[in-house]
Amino acid sequence: MKKYIMSIDQGTTSSRAIIFDEKTNIVSVAHKEFRQYYPGNGYVEHDPEEIWETQSEVCRAAMKKAGVTAEDIAAIGITNQRETTIVWDRNTGRPVYNAIVWQCRRTAPLCEELEARGLTDFIRDRTGLLIDPYFSAGKLKWILDNVKGVRERAEKGELLFGTVDCWLMWKLSGGKAHVTDMSNASRTMMYNIHTLEWDKEILELLDIPECMLPRVTDCSGKICETAPEVFGGVIPITGCAGDQQAALFGQRCFDEGDVKNTYGTGAFLLMNTGDKPAKSASGLLTTIAWGIDGKVTYALEGSVFIAGAVVKWLRDELELITSAAETERIAESVPDNGGVYLVPAFVGLGAPYWDSSARGTITGLTRGSGKRYIVRAALEAIAYQVCDVLSAMEKDGAVPGTIKADGGASSNDFLMRFQSDIAERSVIRPKNVETTALGACLLAGLGCGYFESIAAIKAIPVETDIFEPHMPADRRGSLLDGWHSAVKRTLS
Q: 447-468 pLDDT, tens per residue?
A: 998 888 888 898 888 888 999 9
CB 139 within 8 A of CB 45: no
pLDDT in tens, 243-292: 999 999 999 999 888 889 999 888 999 999 899 898 888 888 999 999 99
- Confidence (pLDDT) at 191: 97
- Confidence (pLDDT) at 41: 85
- Confidence (pLDDT) at 1: 58
Share the mean pLDDT of the chain.
93
| Residue % of the chain over a pLDDT of 70 | 100
Res 416 pLDDT > 80: yes
The C-alpha atoms of residue 471 and residue 191 are separated, in whole angstroms, by 43
CB 445 within 8 A of CB 5: yes
- Confidence (pLDDT) at 462: 84
* Averaged pLDDT, 461-478: 93
Res 169 pLDDT > 70: yes
With cut-offs at 50, 70 and 90, classify the pLDDT of residue 401. confident
Q: Give per-residue burial for 413-436: e unless 16+ CB within 10 Å, then b.
A: ebbbbbbbbbbebebbbbebbbbb
- Confidence (pLDDT) at 168: 97
| Residue % of the chain over a pLDDT of 90 | 81
Inter-CA distances, 331 with 99, 337, 368, 376, 381, Å = 35, 8, 15, 4, 12
Res 111 pLDDT > 90: yes
- Confidence (pLDDT) at 265: 85
Res 63 pLDDT > 70: yes
- Confidence (pLDDT) at 310: 95
With cut-offs at 50, 70 and 90, classify the pLDDT of residue 148. very high
Q: Which of 97, 77, 72 has the alpha carbon at shortest distance from 87?
A: 97
- Confidence (pLDDT) at 4: 95
With cut-offs at 50, 70 and 90, classify the pLDDT of residue 90. very high
The Cβ-side half-sphere exposure at 12, using a 13 Å CA radius, reads 24
- Confidence (pLDDT) at 350: 87
Res 398 pLDDT > 80: no
* Averaged pLDDT, 62-76: 95
pTM over 0.85: yes
pLDDT in tens, 285-320: 999 999 999 899 999 999 898 999 999 999 999 999
